[in-house]
Amino acid sequence: MKEKELPQSRNRRRFIKGITCALGTAALGAPLLSYGESLAGTRKPQNKKLGIALVGLGNYSTNQLAPALQETEKCYLAGVVTGSPPKAEEWKKKYSIPGRNIYSYDTYDQIKDNPDIDIIYVVLPNAMHAEYTIRAAEAGKHVICEKPMATSEEDCARMIEACKRNNRKLSVGYRLHFEPHNQRVMELGQQQVFGKVKKIDGAHSFVVSNDPDRWRLNKKLSGGGPLMDVGIYCVQAACYTTGETPVAVTAKFGEVTRPVYFDEVEQSVSWQLEFPGGAVANGSSSYNENKNFLYGEAEEGWWRLQPAYSYSGIEGRTSKGPMNYPQVNQQARQMDAFAECVLENRESRVPGEMGMRDVRILMAIYEAARTGKRVLI
């Protein structure tokens, strides 16, 4: 039996367009402009694609973002920032990037003089997000910052302030807000399709490779272990299922069975979030097992995504039947949506304020696990 649908498809489109996980869209104080007019005061043709520069050419940029930018409709790969000359040359040839649009970290600030680049996507280790987002804003560029937004709430606040001060837009790389199965979960929970949400369970874990020197295991660069890396997806999922921000958390660290790898960051952590509407969300994340699911239980039904957070192959089912939604390029949708926000001068559904909220929750989880106490958020 096919899953129950909402009465009108346009209600679904309106709902998806307006989702901000109970944060609203915080205005940056900029005057309203007509479609296609840039914040600098010059008009861009409505059919012009905005140029994106990727900062950091690691695995995610190489295997996900750059390929996605070959499918986008409102933006394109205009430039790169890398500390590796061989990578710069490789990308220049592969994607026909003009030499003037290739920067090193030393020449990064010169990007302000490049009209080809409208948006900077920061894809660096977590501890570097704040610096390069702030410098991008000061260079007059709009910013997408990969998750987690930063390693402290204070850095998130500085990033938001810099973008506001420079009248630039800021978004966080929460691709699942543009994925149909997860969007349906937002509807099921927030619109109480099966009644009031009672319980959420989620886990996201993978086994790290045999390289103890990778930056994710370096606390100075990562800010933490699997919670910061992939556990944040479970926190996000609990928030966008309920449409609420949690009010308290309890948590505990798991046993360390591979101390040579986990002498700085946690090997695993589990937690329970309490929401103001009465729902509870149990989450867990580990660098030593493979899990990937999201389950929700309401008064009159349930739903499950498994896998829930992958780049592709997401599958879902509810108590009424399977979720029949297409597989999409999540990153292409995410970047096109932000480019559209810039062109239309409106805020992202995944703004910096959401990223700061999530970092606040992550820090509360760490505090609860460290102290063994229930922590208010």
Predicted pLDDT at 267: 98
Six token digits for residue 44: 């861009």
34-73 pLDDT per residue, tens: 222 232 333 344 568 999 999 999 999 999 999 999 999 9
* Spatial contact of 91 and 125, defined as CB atoms under 8 Å apart: no
Predicted pLDDT at 213: 67
Say which of 147, 174, 240, 366 is annotated catalytic. Answer: 147
Rounded Cα distance, 103 and 110, in Å: 8
* Spatial contact of 317 and 181, defined as CB atoms under 8 Å apart: no
For the chain, which residues make up each domain, given as ranges?
A: 31-175, 180-327+352-376
Cα 181–Cα 332–Cα 358 angle in degrees, nearest 5: 65
Which CATH number applies to 180-327+352-376?
Answer: 3.30.360.10
Residue type, 237: A
- Cα-flanking dihedrals φ and ψ of residue 123, to 5°? -125, 60
Helix count (H) and strand count (E) of the chain?
Answer: 12, 15
pTM for the full model? 0.88
Predicted pLDDT at 1: 33
Rounded Cα distance, 94 and 114, in Å: 21
| Per-residue model confidence as pLDDT tens for the chain (377 residues) | 333 323 233 333 443 444 433 333 332 222 222 222 232 333 344 568 999 999 999 999 999 999 999 999 999 999 999 999 999 999 999 999 999 999 999 999 999 999 999 999 999 999 999 999 999 999 999 999 999 999 999 999 999 999 999 999 999 999 999 999 999 999 999 999 999 999 999 999 999 987 766 899 999 999 999 999 999 999 999 999 999 999 999 999 999 999 999 999 999 999 999 999 999 999 999 999 999 999 999 999 999 999 999 999 999 999 999 999 999 999 999 999 999 999 999 999 999 999 999 999 999 999 999 999 999 99
Six token digits for residue 212: 């103890």
Residue with tokens 């109480």: 192
Residues in Cβ contact with 23 at an 8 Å cutoff, skipping those fewer than 6 apart: 245, 351, 353, 354, 357
Six token digits for residue 34: 């007509």
Say which of 103, 132, 174, 233 is annotated catalytic. Answer: 233
Which CATH number applies to 31-175?
Answer: 3.40.50.720
Predicted pLDDT at 11: 38
173-213 pLDDT per residue, tens: 999 999 999 999 999 999 999 999 999 999 999 999 877 66
Half-sphere exposure of 366 (CA within 13 A, CB side): 19
CA nearest neighbour of 78 among 65, 62, 95: 95
- The answer to whether 147 is a known catalytic residue is yes
Residues in Cβ contact with 90 at an 8 Å cutoff, skipping those fewer than 6 apart: none
